Each structure stands twice: as C-alpha cells, then as structure tokens.
Amino acid sequence: MTGRHVQVRRLITADDFRSHVSSLGVELPFDPAPDVAGLSAPFRFGPLHVGNRFAILPMEGWDGTARGGPTDLVRRRWRRFGRSGAKLIWGGEATAVRYDGRANPRQLVLTSETAGGIEGLRDDLVREHRGRFGSDAGLVVGLQLTHSGRWARPDGQPRPRIAYRHPVLDARVGADETSLLTDAELDDLVGDFVRAARLAREIGFDFVDVKCCHGYLGHELLSAHTRPGLYGGDLSGRSRFVCSTVEAIRASTPDLPVGVRLSLFDFAPHDSEGEGGHEAGRFAFGGDGTGAGVDLSEPNALLEALAEAGAVAVCVSAGSPYYCPHVQRPAYFPPSDGYPPPEDPLVGVARLVEAAAAVKARHPRLAVVGSGYSYLQEWLAHVASAVVTRGGVDAVGIGRMALSYPDLPARTSSPGSVSTGDGSAARSAIARRRHATVSSRAAIHSTSTTATCPAGRTSHGRSAARGR
C-alpha cells in the first residue's frame, strides 16, 4: 500500500534522503552540491554535439487533430520543451508512422499531409529556445517514430496488431489469431518507418528514434519467442525488425542519425498470476525469467547489434505503462485506475539508474540517456549531477517533471540555481511548481481522455491513462 512507503517529499535533508535510500538496500549516486559545470558540459551524439546533460523525454498528450497533426495544446507543449533549457529533445512525442499504428485517435501521425504542421512544432521549439537562450547552438531535436502494435486504438477502440499470442495481455485488448501481424506486413512496416524518417529529415529533425519500448510493437517483437518465421524465435529473429529498420533508415537517409528508445528490461504484467502471469515472466525482455528481475544479457547483445546497424544513441526506459507502470515511471500516487506502488518508488528509480549505467559502461560508443528521474523531485538535480559526472549516462532525461516544472534544466544548469547541500534552493523552486503540476496534468488528461475515453477506461476496463 502507498502508506507503507515514505514519500520522497518527506525526505527534507540530504541526510534524510541518503539514509532512506540506504535503508531500502539500493544505491543512488548523490552529489550534495550539484555540479553545474558537469551538467552544462556538451557530449557527443553520433556526429552531433549536444550542449548540456539534460534531455526532454518524449511525452504525448493524445491531443493532436483527427488527421494526426498538431493542435495549439501540442504546440504549447513543444514550445515549453524548447524553453526548458535542455539541449536534447529526445523525440518530442510518439508519432505514428501510419494511421493504424496510433495508440489514440489524437496521436500525431507523420505523413505528407501532416508534415508541415510537425515541421512547425520543431521550428517553434527551436525559436523559443533561441529566444530564451540567445542561440540554438548545441540543441538537438529528434522525432520519435512508432507503431503501437498491441495497444493500437486508432479509432478509440482496441485494434490490436500483435507480434505473438500472450497469455495475459491478449485478453486485455481482445487480441486473437487475426490480430497477428504477418511477416509480409512487418516487411512493409519497415518501409513505413523509412518513409517517415526521410520525411522527418526533410522537415528539419536532427535524428529519429525508432520506438522500442513500453509494450508497443518494436518492443513486443523483442519477446516474440513463440513466433515462427523471420521475426521471432531466437534473439536475431526477435530483433530483426528494429535492426532492419535502423539499417534501412541509415541506408535511405545516411545523414540522419538514428536512436532507439528501449525498454531495457521488462516485468510480467503486475498482479497477473491468476490470469496466467506465472507464464508471462518468459516474455519479459531483459528479465530474468521470474517476471520481476533483470538480466541484461539479451539487451546488451541487442545494443551491440543496433550499434552495428548504425544506431548512435539509446534512451533507456523499462516496462510498460499498460501492465507494469511502477517499473516504467516510479510514482507514489498511482494512475487513477492503477495500483498502489508495490515497492518504494525510489527502488524503481534506482533500478533504472543502475541499468542505464550498466549499458553506458558496456557500450561507451552509444550516447545513453536515462529516464525515470521525476519522482526524485527536490533531489533530482543532486542525483542527476552524480550520475552524469560518474559517467552513468550522457544525459538525464526528464519526463513528468518537464510538464510541471519546464524550467528545471535551465535553472539547474546555471550557477547559483541549485542548493549546496540541504536541497533548499531546488526544493523551494520545485515547491512553487507543485500547483503547476496539477494544472499541467489536468491539461494533458483533459485533452487526451475527453477525445476518446470519456470515463478514462477502455472497454476492457483498462484506462487509456495507462498508455504512453
């Protein structure tokens, strides 16, 4: 139950925070005084240079137009990303490569029809950045490309396109044999990613992210052990889709760097034993087979293959918001239809931080971006600084915190803006933003849920709020 855990905001001093972390039996690097110079240092992103160590993670509001173009709400979000001070914009938000791959009828789709509007998003973001900081030097902006696979709801109803039959998740979306994507359809889909990537380049994006996380198609294929044919079976079959896509984009658009957002490890659907979840542990890519542990052997092999295929960067995430949100985005308060956190959310943060550091150590050529820091709140800058300066990631990705406190990167990478030991400066700035958290959440959820899921739930009793 939530009440069992100590909420991070109750950890008032650095000592409180550190001793609580140590009482949990996990490790989180921590700098009593965040290293502003370290957080402001540039790093290499393939052929590009990123001007500081903050990235804005992709965050969609499912608030685009019915045709997949941006609305004023989308434009406002992207402008705030530009003003945030982060020099890396990892993907902006999930953008489907075709209509049947949308997770929501209001998700962006990149086509020749919407390209102008999506180009405008990037231009507005860059203009805002330049307006606030005087220059866009070192600003790198990517676009996240996706197909939602099992979680596709292009018209508001589940229209799952799956990689394989899953013992628990099929029932949740009403998937059956007819939902299976054929090898020929996957071949075609590689072509759709390539077309979208070329378009992204033409409208000015610096890189594309081939989304391979959170249970969506690219990620689901990685656990397609039982799938016959070219795209399943052993790791080379299971990773064929993402590797071929990266390779094909590189061949078609050689001046466009490619990154991959990867759920580096996965857990079985939470509390699914009664539904057959004991079997589901084997389908958790990067898991140890139990459904609740991590084994990075396969993810490490995949990252080697991706680097070989031409990927230059990985944004590390984990799990899925649909079936194990506590793994993907640690939180004290669960989503409206979620479950109380089964572990102290700091355990989830530490798991993500440790896994990203393991990847950075093993794949020094790849630029590595971390995720899952927002729960740290007042202590985010202290942990971010320690992780970055110890080489645990190249950049710290900011998700939810970028909605509630979009200024955090700018304020944290300028001298005098962070505390020197007791967290007070960062804490007071963040406390001032608490009200903003509520209103920006409301803005995102009102637009995403009223469009298609008036009660916030699908016909299968799962909330659309669980997605993304």
Ligand X SMILES: Cc1cc2nc3c(=O)[nH]c(=O)nc-3n(C[C@H](O)[C@H](O)[C@H](O)COP(=O)(O)O)c2cc1C
Q: In what helix (H) or strand (E) does residue 235 lie, and over which residues does it extend? A: helix 235-238
User: Checking DSSP bridges between strand 395-398 and strand 311-317, what pairing results, if any?
Assistant: unpaired
- Alpha carbon distances (Å) from 36 to 26, 369, 381, 416: 25, 18, 9, 9
Judged by beta carbon, residue 261 or residue 411, the one nearer ligand X is: 261
Could you give the maximum distance between any two Cα atoms of the chain, in Å? 59
Residue 399 engages ligand X in binding (rule: CB under 6 A): yes
Helix locations, 273-344, DSSP H: 277-280, 297-309, 325-328
- Distance between CA atoms of residues 204 and 369, nearest Å: 22
- Distance between CA atoms of residues 132 and 409, nearest Å: 13
Q: How far is the CB of 273 from ligand X (least distance, A)?
A: 26
Q: How far is the CB of 302 from ligand X (least distance, A)?
A: 17
Residue nearest to ligand X (CB): 399
Binding mask 248-267 for ligand X (x = CB under 6 A): -------------x------
What is the Cβ-side half-sphere exposure of residue 448, based on CA atoms within 13 angstroms? 25
Judged by beta carbon, residue 329 or residue 462, the one nearer ligand X is: 329
Q: How far is the CB of 349 from ligand X (least distance, A)?
A: 8
Instruction: Candidates 104, 111, 223, 374: give the one binding ligand X (CB under 6 A).
Output: 374
Residues 6+ apart with CB under 8 A from 205: 122, 141, 142, 143, 256
Query: Cβ distance 163 to 151 under 8 Å?
Result: no
Q: Dig out the tokens for 166 from the structure.
A: 């899953």
Q: In what helix (H) or strand (E) does residue 402 lie, and over which residues does it extend? A: helix 400-404
Contact segment (CB under 6 A) with ligand X among 32-40, 208-216, 356-364, 406-414 equals 208-216
Residue 94 engages ligand X in binding (rule: CB under 6 A): yes
Radius of gyration in angstroms for the set of CA atoms belonging to the chain, rounded to a whole number: 20
Q: Which of residues 298-317 bind ligand X (CB under 6 A)?
A: 317
Contact segment (CB under 6 A) with ligand X among 11-19, 130-138, 354-362, 373-381 equals 373-381
Judged by beta carbon, residue 107 or residue 170, the one nearer ligand X is: 107
Judged by beta carbon, residue 94 or residue 139, the one nearer ligand X is: 94
Instruction: Candidates 400, 411, 462, 466: give the one binding ligand X (CB under 6 A).
Output: 400
Q: Dig out the tokens for 346 from the structure.
A: 């700091």
Q: How far is the CB of 126 from ligand X (least distance, A)?
A: 20
Binding mask 117-146 for ligand X (x = CB under 6 A): ---------------------------x--
DSSP 167-184: TTHHHHHT--GGGBPPHH
Judged by beta carbon, residue 277 or residue 345, the one nearer ligand X is: 345
Contact segment (CB under 6 A) with ligand X among 198-206, 278-286, 339-347, 370-378 equals 370-378
Residue 96 engages ligand X in binding (rule: CB under 6 A): no
Residue 401 engages ligand X in binding (rule: CB under 6 A): yes
Q: Which of residues 324-343 bind ligand X (CB under 6 A)?
A: 329
Contact segment (CB under 6 A) with ligand X among 42-50, 190-198, 206-214, 414-422 equals 206-214
Judged by beta carbon, residue 300 or residue 447, the one nearer ligand X is: 447
**By CB under 6 A, how many residues form the interface with ligand X?**
24
DSSP 431: H
Residues 6+ apart with CB under 8 A from 110: 68, 95, 96, 97, 118, 143, 145, 196, 199, 200
Instruction: Candidates 356, 426, 444, 464: give the one binding ligand X (CB under 6 A).
Output: 444
Binding mask 13-52 for ligand X (x = CB under 6 A): ----------------------------------------
Q: How far is the CB of 317 from ligand X (least distance, A)?
A: 5
- Distance between CA atoms of residues 83 and 200, nearest Å: 22
Residues 6+ apart with CB under 8 A from 201: 208, 253, 255, 256
Instruction: Candidates 54, 151, 373, 379: give the one binding ligand X (CB under 6 A).
Output: 373
Query: Cβ distance 145 to 196 under 8 Å?
Result: yes
Give the residue carrying structure tokens 């999506």: 118
Residue 468 engages ligand X in binding (rule: CB under 6 A): yes
For ligand X, the binding residues (CB under 6 A) are 57-60, 93-94, 144, 211, 213-214, 261, 317, 329, 371-375, 398-401, 444, 468
